[in-house]
Chains A and B, each alone.
Chain A
């Protein structure tokens, strides 16, 4: 998976609790992304980062925040999880001239 790890790989939590997902890369790529994948919707961009402390919103950013204090780590936080945030979350990285993105193994999050 191109030097990308995600943690945890599985998580079950309750509505209203905060949740943080971590993406770690060893490729020293500048760009990092968080997507969610739901049946019938493909992959939808939540947030992305174009450098340390530089982030921007994607199409489904409501209810999510991100932080990037180091090149290798990109954190996704659900401040107060809701059942609609039950999904599989993928991290991706990109560093080439064009936007070739390489994905991590995913985190399956269930919000009860």
Chain B
């Protein structure tokens, strides 16, 4: 089955700096890669996603890049703010309408 590795497990940045979270996947048939943000005590929230026919997607301060040859994708957050502090998860679609998630990155933005 699909295996998704996510790094780093924790990330601390200064407010205004950029943050990058990286994921690799194992199944070359995967074609959909969402990112979720989870705040304490809440369910994960879909923040951005990318499909296999696109190399990059942006939405305001967040962007995702995908390298299908290398089987990795990344989340980029620019101009970080304290409210960006949360746990972020990457995921890959196995093709059965089921997602396999990475183990999460705890992002702390220091004011």
Chain A interface (Cβ < 8 Å from any Cβ of B): 1, 31, 33, 40-45, 48, 50, 56, 58-59, 90, 94, 98-106
Contact = CB atoms under 8 A, between A and B. Distances in A.
A63 to B, nearest CB: 19
A98 B103 contact: no
A23 B46 CA distance: 19
A90 B38 CA distance: 12
B2 to A, nearest CB: 9
Contacts, number: 56
B46 A43 contact: no
Interface stretch (B14-22, B62-70, B74-82, B91-99): B91-99
Interface of B: 1, 6, 32, 34, 36, 42-46, 49, 51, 89, 91, 93, 96-104
B59 to A, nearest CB: 14
A40 B103 contact: yes
A104 B46 CA distance: 12
B46 A42 contact: no
A103 B101 CA distance: 14
Nearest to B103: A42
Contacts of B100: 45, 59
A98 to B, nearest CB: 5
Contacts of A42: 6, 89, 101-104
A21 B42 CA distance: 17
15 contacts: A33-B98, A43-B44, A43-B89, A43-B99, A45-B100, A90-B44, A98-B32, A98-B51, A99-B34, A99-B93, A99-B98, A99-B99, A100-B49, A101-B34, A103-B44
B97 A31 contact: yes
Contacts of A99: 32, 34, 93, 97-99
